[in-house]
A = this chain, B = another copy of it.
Amino acid sequence: MDIKCAGIIIKPGGEKLKDTYKRIKKAFEKEDIAIKIDRSSAQIIGEKDGLSFDELCQACDILVSLGGDGTLISVARRSYEYHKPVLGINVGTLGFLTDIKPEDVESFVKKIKKNDFRIDTRMMIEIAILGKKERILSFNDVVITRPAVSKMIYIDVFIEDSLMNSYYGDGLIISTPTGSTAYNLSAGGPVVYPFSNDFIFTPICPHSLTQRPLVLPAEFEFKITTKSKSALIVIDGQDMYEFTPKDIVIVKKAPIGAKLIHRKERNYFNVLREKLGWGI
């Protein structure tokens, strides 16, 4: 892979990251990789000459997300059509997805130049609400939940027109393996190896005591309906859609996964143990 241009996106509220941006820019340019910046990111740190997000995706070979896991997820979702690998540079605490720190940038860019890195592909979910044009993509999870806090909702899930399960309670999380360590974990779901091809269906505070998290193959296509007057579909905690008894929601694996750039020696279980505080 010949990388000539990297496009930078900075997290909203990242006004203090101007120096970090300059450090990254210098590191890439030293290795003859041009740096371009997204227009809103440029404004955040008071730079000129940004490109629109789509121009950036077209012009660059890789994207660089400067922020936390949330910024990386947003970049991966918005750049989905361009299939560009994304490198996450982490400015806070260790993330599940972003493990390159600003102080590691110089040495890691050298490795990138030498093709000494890894591209991990992460399963994404594609959601369609029948009758609406938009195709929705999810990196972590699709959460079906209630708009008001005081009512439980009913959700029916079908596979090939046959009832799979009915849920009644606060809602349902449909998670990718990557999302299994996010909201799914708080709701009692299992950790699933991030390069598996699985959906995780985890009920949120189910009324029935016998409901359990369910791990299902990525090959399944699900049809979801609700009997509740109004429900909400929340994608990666970032976008929200109304869901009414008239709607049919189709959930399936996205045809292409997100591509994340990592160190070759990165070990998932080391990150997991550190993030979850495992150890005796």
Q: Which residues of A contact B (CB under 8 A)?
A: 143, 145-147, 149-151, 154, 159, 162-166, 168-170, 180, 183, 185-193, 195-196, 198, 200, 204-217, 232, 234, 237-238, 240, 267, 269, 273, 276-280
Contact = CB atoms under 8 A, between A and B. Distances in A.
B186 A150 contact: no
B149 A145 contact: yes
Interface of A is mostly: mixed
Copies held by the complex: 4
Contacts of A232: 149
A191 B210 contact: no
A188 B166 CA distance: 20
A209 B209 contact: yes
A217 B177 CA distance: 11
A170 B190 contact: no
Contact of A190 (B163, B169, B213, B278): B213
A212 B185 contact: yes
Contacts of A165: 269, 273, 278
Given A162-B267, A191-B213, 13 more contacts: A150-B238, A166-B278, A190-B215, A191-B214, A193-B217, A198-B215, A204-B205, A209-B210, A209-B276, A209-B277, A210-B210, A210-B277, A215-B215
